[in-house]
Amino acid sequence: DGAWRDADPAEVQRRIDAGETYTYRFKVPKGKVVTINDMVRGRISWDVEATLGDFILLRSNGVPVYNFCVAVDDALMGITTVARAEEHLTNTVRQALVLEALGFPLPEYAHCSLILGEDRSKLSKRHGATSCDQFRQQGYLPDAMINYLALLGWNDGTDQDIYTRQQLIDAFDLNRVTASPAQFDQSKLKWINGQHLRAMTKEQFLPFLEEALLVDGVVGKADATLVSHVAGMVQEKCDLVNDACAILTSCLDYELAETAKTCEEAAGILGDDFVTLASAISDSVGKGEFPADMTADSFEKDFKDWIGALGKLTGRKGKRLFMPVRLALTGNLAG
C-alpha cells in the first residue's frame, strides 16, 4: 500500500534495530512506463505505477525473490534473447526495471502463447501424458516429439510437416512464431511419429523395437535375429513403436482353428490339404530358401521366384497357392 515508500529513514532504522522484520522493495519511479518490442507479440507497454507498485526484492527471511535473481543471472550470463510463455509477461516488467536500475541492457523477449488441449483449455495432466518419459513409454520417438512441438505455434511459411532436427535448426526463426495459442493434437503427433518411424533405417529402429518388446514382456530376452525379423515385419505398419508389440503378439497367438470357425474362406483353405503346404513352407524356410531380408532391393523378385518354386513343388497355382501361403506366413487373409 506504499505505507513505507517515503518513510522517515530514522524511524525505519529504529524499527530495524528493535528487531522488527522487514523486506526490501523496488521503489518504482512515479509515472514510469516500461516498453518492450516483443518478437512474438509486438510492442507492449506497462504503466508500472498504476499496475504494479513497489514490489519486493528481498523477503523478510533474507531470501531474494525470483524476479530479482533471474534478472541478475541473465545479465551476468550475457543472455541476449529470452523466449518463454506468455504467462511470464508480468515477470518481464519487474525484471526490466531491475535490469535498468542496475545499468544492464534489456535482452530481446519472445513471449509464446500457451498450448491448449483438444478441449481448448490450458494443456495439463488431465489431458494425458505431460512428461517426455511418458511419451517415450507410449512409443513416441524423440525426433518426432521435437518435430511436433516445433510446429506448435510456428511454421516456416511452407506446407511441410516432417522435419529432421537439422532441418528445424536451419529453418527456425522466432519471428515466425505466432501469437495465437496452439492446440495439442494427439492424432497429428501420432501421424508425425509414424512418418519418422517408417523413415528410419532398420538399424535405427532396432534398439527402440527391442526395448518395447522387452518392457511389454512380448519376449523374455533380447534375441538379435528375432528382433531383426520382427522389425522387417512391423515397421511399415507402426505409428508408435509399441504398436509392434500388439502386431507380434497377434501373430504369436494366432489360432488357425479359431479362424476356421468364424471365417468360411479360412475354413476352405484349411480343408484343402493345408498341412502339406505348411510343411513345405516350413521345410523351405529351414533350408534357407525363403528370402528373409525384406529390405533387400531384390526381395520382390526373390519372393516371386520362391513362391513360384513352391507352387511347382506342391502342384498349386493362383489363388489356391497364394491365399494359403498368405495365411501360413501372416495369419491373415488380407492386408
**Interval 178-201: pLDDT, tens:** 999 999 999 999 999 999 999 999
Average pLDDT value for the chain? 89
Q: Average of pLDDT values for 260-280? A: 78
End-to-end distance of the chain based on CA atoms, in angstroms? Answer: 73
Residue 1 has pLDDT above 70, yes or no: no
Long-range contacts (CB closer than 8 Å, 24 or more residues apart) made by 171-178: 174/39, 174/40, 174/81, 174/83, 174/110, 175/39, 177/39, 177/40, 177/110, 177/112, 177/153, 178/40, 178/113, 178/153, 178/154
Using alpha carbons only, give the angle 289, 228, 251 rounded to the nearest 5 degrees: 80
**Grid cell locating 74:** 541473465
Element of type H or E holding 76: helix 66-77
pTM (2 d.p.): 0.72
- 86, 112 in Cβ contact below 8 A? yes
- Which of these ranges, 27-31, 126-130, 258-262, has the smallest mean pLDDT? 258-262
Give percent above pLDDT 70 in the chain.
94
